[in-house]
């Protein structure tokens, strides 16, 4: 996964939260466990999920991260980022 410090902090915060939806907490824990090198079997046991859950949400995390990077790049190239327009 190669999480950035900011991503890791956000995921840790979500994983510890008592106000974040349980499904989002579970997804945050999944990404953190993958980042920490946990095996799929260990993740499935700990989170009570199956391999489809792991594939689906790790894939979505990676694709959304990529989408966010593409949007950021487009903003920088257009000069919009310098004008403080956020995504």
pTM higher than 0.85: no
83 or 28, which is more confident = 28
Q: What is the number of domains present in the chain?
A: 1
**What is the distance between the terminal CA atoms of the chain, rounded to a whole angstrom?**
23
For residues 57 and 59, give the distance between their C-alpha atoms in angstroms, rounded to a whole number.
5
Domain with 61, as residue range(s), is 5-83
For residues 57 and 44, give the distance between their C-alpha atoms in angstroms, rounded to a whole number.
13
Q: What is the pLDDT of residue 78?
A: 73
Answer whether 42's CB lies under 8 Å from 33's CB: yes
Characterise 84 by phi-psi region: left (phi > 0), alpha (psi -120 to 50), beta (else): left
Quickly tell me which residue has 């594939």 as its tokens. 55
Q: What is the pLDDT of residue 76?
A: 73
């Amino acid at each position: 996964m190669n999480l950035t410090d900011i991503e890791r902090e956000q995921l840790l915060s979500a994983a510890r939260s008592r106000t974040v939806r349980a499904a989002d907490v579970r997804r945050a824990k999944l990404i953190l466990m993958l980042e920490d090198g946990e095996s799929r079997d260990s993740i499935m046991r700990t989170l009570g999920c199956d391999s489809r859950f792991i594939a689906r949400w790790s894939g979505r995390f990676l694709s959304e991260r990529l989408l966010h990077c593409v949007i950021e790049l487009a903003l920088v190239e257009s000069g919009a980022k310098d004008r403080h327009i956020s995504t």
